[in-house]
Structure 1
Amino acid sequence: MYRQMRMWRHDYRNHLQTMKALDTPIKSGNAMADAILSSKMSLAQAPGIDVRVDAHTHIPIKQRISELDLCCVLGNLFDNAIEANDGLPEADRMIRVYMDMKGTQLYISFTNASSGGKQRKVGGRFRTTKSDEGHGFGLVHIDQIIEAAGGYLSRNFEDGASTTEILLPQS
């Protein structure tokens, strides 16, 4: 129960940001997804991260995950991408987000610059490398949401870049 409360608290700020940013330049057909992407895009651009979001697709209404879970996934991926750019020279900072329909599945891709630190796997899943409290819930929550929806998730770390790809089937 305590762990679930900490997970919820971890994602709560994403939900608040989503509600604040309903008028957005991103038009995916899902107002909550547009709001979280626009809000996080603004947060990422403030410290000089080059951000490009291509999410001008129509997100189907009949997804196997709720809008809230979709926003948790997008918010956590964006938060991780922003943190991965910390400490990099401004010229190297970047985040690329791409969303589109691949047949009957929603495809989501996040690529970001990274310092190339060693990634930690526990039980076949990537885990946070940060030791301070409040970290480590995002990756776990993303994994749980995608698994529950019967989706596919892939994480790849290569030469200064990290990519997460997700496929989500429709209902």
Structure 2
Amino acid sequence: MDVVLILLALLLIFVIVLLAKTVRIVPQARAGIVERFGKYRISLSAGLNVVVPFIDKVRYTIDLREQVVSFPPQPVITQDNLVVSIDTVIYFQVTDPVAATYEIANYIQAVEQLTMTTLRNIVGGMDLEGTLTSRDEINNRLRGVLDEATGKWGLRVSRVELKAIDPPLSI
């Protein structure tokens, strides 16, 4: 009789663990990336999801809300060889969680690097006066380039804002 109770208790524990491993709850505005034996299988949407226990693993949970990333002030050289300090804020959203997971290792760092190089290219073709007076033009050009470049990473850049453009102290 004791053996039967022990076996029933073990069976009950196994069933509870199996159910806990089978059901996955993904929070609102997030997506789960499921891998089976290390290979992408499916994306989980928000809510209650069922996976194959011990075989499928929810490896990544991606935030689908719009994210705001503020970059520290960057020194940028204008066309007339003056150094301005530009403070930038990027607003972007993950539109394809699979691409954001597997196409780029760290999309926030990649967006930061791409923003800085693109900003240097745009401002490098303008003089100081043009840089200080053409904030909207710089924002629009930067957003266009970033949105196109980050599309393959599953991202959509919705806004780019230049918080501050500080001219050199000598001027």
TM-score higher than 0.5 here? no
TM-score using structure 1 length: 0.29
Higher strand share: 2
TM-score, normalising length: structure 2? 0.29
